[in-house]
């Protein structure tokens, strides 16, 4: 039996898939299987996966069903006692698996993460996120919508398979915020720990569904917190969550402009001169985005 099952879902991720695979196969902890759920990709993703000769890769192709259902399938296929997540487009430091596994030697720990660097579309560092395990656990169990904290990134997660199953796993009703939903239920079963090193690099996607469906994400998060605080209402609230699905729409120019403005703001804080290029793109996408104009008018 392998030591670790790495679960990743991909949908039309050809642009960054090779970099992600390279970082996983370069891990110093080599005793793992990589379960790749190809969630109905129509780009070059299947051909890229077909060229991989590493026997640790297991590809499971299915019709497009969304991230949550793909992760449910991947975790169900896991053969190891420990499951690690990874997102397509992101990369892991070679020591990530080894260092996170070491924290799970403590039997009281059920969920592990690490510090994350979130990088811009061109690889620019936007910001670094660090968290403390006890603080995050308290937040997951008690905080409200405005203050709740979770892992530094969904793709950093590593958890015990038995705790995952006992908690009920990812729930198909959660098209959005499926990670927060799971972290809350795992936090009820044990401790959370973080490796306080940047071992994961997440690529910021200007077209991410989170930018197009912000209201839906907030709506599901409210339901998740209500289930945490009023567990007797879980069947009713799950049914309501199942009705929340993304709108069939592509990113608008306004949505893209807001994402570009966000990148520009982060780079300006990092004193990276490339911020001006993103701010200019933001006003070009949406000339009425006044905060982007205000950013461009600032000195420095």
Q: Is residue 248 part of a domain?
A: no
Q: Is residue 24 part of a domain?
A: yes
Domain with residue 186: its CATH number is 3.90.550.10
Choose among 98, 131, 88: nearest CA to 29: 98
**pLDDT value, residue 208:** 72
Split at pLDDT 50, 70, 90, the class of 57 is: very high
Clarify whether residues 171 and 194 are in a common domain. yes
pLDDT tens digits, one per residue of 94-131: 999 999 999 999 999 999 999 999 999 999 999 999 99
Helices 178-187 + 67-77 axis angle, to 10: 50
Query: Residue 226: which domain range?
Result: 212-242
Clarify whether residues 158 and 230 are in a common domain. no
pLDDT reading at 75 higher than 90: yes
- Express as a percent the part of the chain with pLDDT over 90: 91
Clarify whether residues 160 and 266 are in a common domain. no
Q: What angle do CA 289, 292, 264 make, to 5 degrees?
A: 135
Clarify whether residues 197 and 145 are in a common domain. yes
pLDDT reading at 299 higher than 90: no
pLDDT tens digits, one per residue of 152-174: 999 999 999 999 999 999 999 99
Number of domains in the chain: 3
Across the range 270-284, mean pLDDT stands at: 95
pLDDT reading at 283 higher than 80: yes
Clarify whether residues 189 and 275 are in a common domain. no
pLDDT reading at 50 higher than 90: yes
How many alpha carbons lie under 13 Å from residue 153 in its C-beta half-sphere?
Answer: 29
End-to-end CA distance of the chain: 56
Clarify whether residues 180 and 285 are in a common domain. no
Q: Is residue 266 part of a domain?
A: yes
Clarify whether residues 56 and 165 are in a common domain. yes
Split at pLDDT 50, 70, 90, the class of 206 is: confident
Q: Is residue 148 part of a domain?
A: yes
Q: Is residue 247 part of a domain?
A: no
Clarify whether residues 22 and 44 are in a common domain. yes
Split at pLDDT 50, 70, 90, the class of 211 is: low
pLDDT reading at 186 higher than 80: yes
Indicate the residue among 198, 221, 242 that finishes a domain.
242
Clarify whether residues 152 and 233 are in a common domain. no
Q: Is residue 111 part of a domain?
A: yes
**pLDDT value, residue 248:** 59
**pLDDT value, residue 205:** 86
155 contacts 75 by C-beta, under 8 angstroms: no
Clarify whether residues 112 and 221 are in a common domain. no
Q: Is residue 118 part of a domain?
A: yes
**pLDDT value, residue 214:** 85
199 contacts 129 by C-beta, under 8 angstroms: no
Q: What angle do CA 95, 157, 75 make, to 5 degrees?
A: 110
How many alpha carbons lie under 13 Å from residue 150 in its C-beta half-sphere?
Answer: 20
Q: Which is higher by pLDDT, 215 or 73? A: 73
Clarify whether residues 78 and 225 are in a common domain. no
Q: Is residue 63 part of a domain?
A: yes
Clarify whether residues 18 and 51 are in a common domain. yes
Phi, psi of 68 (to 5 degrees): -60, -50
pLDDT tens digits, one per residue of 122-139: 999 999 999 999 999 999
Mean pLDDT of the chain: 95
């Amino acid at each position: 039996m392998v030591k670790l099952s790495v679960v990743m879902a991909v949908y039309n991720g050809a642009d960054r898939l090779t970099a992600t695979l390279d970082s996983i196969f370069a891990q110093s902890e080599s005793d793992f299987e990589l379960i790749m759920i190809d969630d109905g990709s129509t780009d070059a993703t299947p051909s890229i996966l077909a060229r991989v000769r590493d026997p640790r890769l297991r590809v499971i192709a299915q019709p497009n069903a969304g991230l949550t259902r793909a992760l449910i399938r991947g975790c169900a296929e896991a053969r190891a006692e420990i499951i690690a997540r990874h997102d397509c487009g992101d990369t892991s430091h070679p020591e990530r698996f080894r260092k996170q596994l070491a924290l799970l030697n403590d039997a009281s720990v059920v969920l592990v993460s690490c510090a994350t660097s979130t990088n811009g579309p061109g690889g620019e560092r936007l910001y670094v996120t660090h968290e403390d395990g006890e603080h995050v656990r308290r937040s997951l169990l008690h905080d409200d919508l405005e203050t709740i904290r979770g892992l530094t990134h969904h793709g950093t997660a590593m958890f015990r398979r038995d705790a995952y199953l006992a908690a009920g796993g990812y729930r198909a009703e959660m098209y959005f915020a499926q990670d927060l939903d799971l972290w809350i239920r795992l936090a009820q079963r044990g401790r959370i720990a973080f490796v306080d090193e940047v071992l994961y690099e997440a690529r910021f996607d200007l077209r991410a569904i989170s930018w197009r469906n912000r209201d839906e994400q907030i709506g599901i998060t409210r339901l998740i917190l209500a289930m945490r605080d009023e567990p007797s209402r879980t069947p009713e609230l799950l049914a309501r969550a199942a009705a929340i699905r993304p709108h069939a729409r592509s990113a608008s120019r306004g949505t893209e402009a807001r994402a570009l403005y966000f990148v520009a703001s982060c780079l300006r804080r990092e004193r990276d001169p490339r911020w001006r290029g993103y701010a200019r793109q933001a006003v070009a996408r949406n000339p009425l985005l006044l905060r982007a104009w205000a950013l461009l008018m600032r000195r420095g």
